[in-house]
Amino acid sequence: MTVTAALSTGTVSALAAPILQSEGSPLDPVLAPIYTLLDLWSLLLGALGDATGVGLLQYGFMHRAILVGLCIGVMAPLIGTFLVHRQLALIGDALAHTAFAGVAVGLFLNGVFSVGVSPYLTAVVVAVIAALLIEVISEVTDAYNDVSMAIVLSTGFALGTVLISLNAGGLAVGINQYLFGNLSTVSAENAAILLVLFGIIVATVALTRNQLLYVTFDETAAEVSGIPVAWYNRVMVMLTALVVVGAMQIMGVILVAAMLVVPVAGASQVSRSFTGSLLISVVLAELAVLLGIGLSYYGEATAGGVIVLVAVAIYAATVVVGKLLEARGDDSAPEVGSIEAEEDAVATSD
């Protein structure tokens, strides 16, 4: 289908949706190039929907939701793979609750002072600060990471509930979409912010992969070799905060941590190497996201919950596959705790 045909068959309304939703935002000048990319993406999916007759591809908000979901399917397991092998699987849950506090801060500022700031931006700021606090508390007090995570989680959720109670009339209604996620509330501005976060996360991991890998599997040896372990620990928790805020749009605060853990756990059942586990976890996450979005759309259910249920079902399937491979004596079948770092990657970090 040509561009002219797509425009004449109603795709214009879907294409214009991002522009209309972002109108008047103070971030418009900065995000203008990304809005153009969103328009092209919407045009592509709109034309595909017209050609195939797939209902969910006829709406602009679904175009943005699918794009956000695809990004989440990459960046969540990309960071989650490092977290799971560092036994920090629960840090996503802690940062999700502090991101909730960040959303409450944004809604409070908008409701009381009419600031006009995006709640997702305040969530990014608060989540990053919370991530750093987790590391600082562990370093200063010599407490275990789970202790500092529990403190930060409790503080974040308490701050969010207090801010909501101070202005319950406006905040209680607006907070639900952040708690449970909502496909229809993924605005152009939020999608553009997510793309920026996606670029930061992927670029940072690409540049620091070897160092992060070394720190993940042998922190003591990494420190002896001269790698600033504390710095890379902070980088990892800050990247986790960015993933949590980005995924919160469709997953919601309550379920966002699942995408950091479940696909990685599934990949670990069928892969022996770290890189193999990472790639498979991305594939599993994308499958869960796309199936979850489709099922939630046609079943009129909450997207975040459906995505997590699909991810858990896929995890159960990988467990079965892993056990079958192990029973057959397949050399490629991983054993529990047998995920290994690539030696060349560790060597280049020295």
Model confidence pLDDT, tens digit, residues 250-297: 898 888 999 999 999 999 999 888 999 999 999 999 999 999 999 999
Residue 105 in tokens: 């801060």
Distance CA 253, CA 191 (A): 17
Cα–chain center distance at 43? 25
pLDDT band at 211 (very low <50, low <70, confident <90, very high): very high
DSSP tally for the chain: helices H, then strands E: 16, 0
What pLDDT is stored for residue 9 in this prediction? 35
Model confidence, pTM: 0.86
Q: Determine contact, residues 35/22, Cβ cutoff 8 Å.
A: yes
Ranges 7-16, 32-41, 192-201, 270-279: which has the least confidence: 7-16
Distance, in Å, from the CA atom of 246 to the CA atom of 262, rounded to the nearest integer, reads 17
HEC assignment per residue over 19-74: HHHCCCCCCHHHHHHHHHHHHHHHHHHHHHHHHHCCHHHHCHHHHHHHHHHHHHHH
Residues above pLDDT 90, as percent of the chain: 56
Which range scores top for mean pLDDT: 84-93, 182-191, 285-294?
285-294
What local confidence, expressed as pLDDT, does residue 176 receive? 75
Beta bridge partners of 340: 273
Say whether pLDDT at 181 is over 80.
yes
Beta bridge partners of 273: 340
Q: Match 């990053």 to its residue by tokens.
A: 128
pLDDT tens for each residue of 96-121: 999 999 988 988 888 888 888 888 89
pLDDT at 333 over 70: no
